[in-house]
A = this chain, B = another copy of it.
Amino acid sequence: MAPGDTTVGSTPTTPIDPEVVEAMAPFLRTHFGNPSSSHVYGRRARDAVDRARAQVAALIGGAPEEIVFTGSGTEANNMAILGAVAHADDRGGRLACSAIEHPAVEKPCRLVGFRGWAVDTIPVDETGLIDMRAADVVIRRETVMVSVMHSNNEVGTIQPIRELAALAHSRGALMHTDAAQSVGKVSVDVNELGVDALTIVGHKLYAPKGVGALHIRKGAAIAPTSFGGGQEGGMRPGTENVALIVALGAACEIAGRRLAEDQARLRGLRDRLWLGLQAGVPGIRLNGHAERRLPNTLNVSFPGVRGGAVLAAAPDIAASTGSACHQGEEAPSSVLAAMGCERDRALGAVRLSVGRTTTAEDIGRATANLVTAWRHVRARASGGG
């Protein structure tokens, strides 16, 4: 499978949209101005950054001046969480996040290291969905910020962020959501959701790696955590990454334009893959929520085998097992473990995804390859046992 071909492989490697590359190219080749300088070259860069800001805001709602460009989704998540901590530092407090957050949320919550701060975990059910009754207990008057991802990167389950935001606000907490996986795949609107901060990642949107954004609602109690010039409203000082900011803006504009069409198309391909695998692999199980799920994501457990072995036997498929290898010992995905998935099923899991460049032929080929690979691994396992 070619690098740009993302059939069951867009998760580890999303290509860059050629239209995005064209949009940013002038800012690498001829438009060198610094947006913070006042001369004519600077103004051209400033205008381009402002336009990108409006494009991002148009995709997710909110005002352009509420968008802060960052170097990654991790930076955006850290900015939201550590910024809320910095703002409330004098009084101390608690943070709350779900049991299935990305390390870029889970670690700043846990490792922030400020004295007097604690973190509470909100459990999820067997479909990966937040347990709202547990959330009602976990989110307290002392909670400064609740951070729950909009959708999960491994299983695609989409969380009830609007309900969580209402609950957080009723306790006086800020609501942040890491929407890295969702933006561009499903409709995401900061005002509908009622969140105070929302994370976007460029390379999940067919922009290059190295750019992201944080939406921060006007007036939200989030303080800057780095200091320097006045760029990005003082929240992210430093000379702007003009070319990649332009790229992210273009990627958002394209994603908004294509959203309805992409959604229907990806869901169709994804469901066709699932039907084919069900037909060829008796006992295969779906991980994640059957309906409340990203249209491009399919996480399945192959029965009686390790997911890694199936992928190894189908090497032309760029996918991910969602499991981490620790010192040679295969460990089950922490997301599946938090969903109460038993060990063998978790170890049999493979995360498959489809993307803009995936075709119906790719799906047919991938289905056949995965079924053949599973039969092969299964036969080898039976022969050896």
A interface residues, Cβ below 8 angstroms from B: 3-4, 12-16, 18, 21, 24, 27-34, 37, 39, 41-42, 70-75, 77-78, 82, 86, 89, 102-104, 107-108, 110-113, 201, 203, 208-211, 225-229, 237-245, 318, 320
Contact = CB atoms under 8 A, between A and B. Distances in A.
B103 A237 contact: yes
A358 to B, nearest CB: 14
Given A111-B227, A209-B239, A209-B241, 9 more contacts: A3-B31, A3-B33, A4-B32, A13-B39, A13-B41, A24-B28, A41-B318, A78-B227, A89-B113
Nearest to A108: B227
A102 B239 CA distance: 13
A16 B39 CA distance: 18
Given A74-B226, A210-B71, A227-B108, A320 B37 contact: yes
A81 to B, nearest CB: 9
B82 A210 contact: no
Nearest to A24: B28
Copies of the polypeptide in the assembly: 2
Contacts of A72: 71, 238-239, 241
Contacts of A39: 12-13, 318
Contact of A241 (B29, B71, B227): B71
A248 to B, nearest CB: 11
Given A3-B30, A102-B228, A74 B238 contact: yes
Contact of A16 (B29, B211, B239): B29
B28 A12 contact: no
Nearest to A237: B74
B71 A243 contact: no
Contacts of A112: 227
B243 A210 contact: yes
Contacts of A28: 16, 21, 24, 208
Given A86-B113, A209-B239, A238-B71, A227 B104 contact: yes
Nearest to A223: B113
Contact of A75 (B4, B71, B244): B71
A355 to B, nearest CB: 11
Contacts of A103: 227-229, 237
Contacts of A32: 3-4, 13-16
Contacts of A111: 227
B16 A226 contact: no
Contact of A74 (B75, B107, B239, B245): B239
Contacts of A82: 226
Contact of A34 (B12, B42, B73, B78): B12
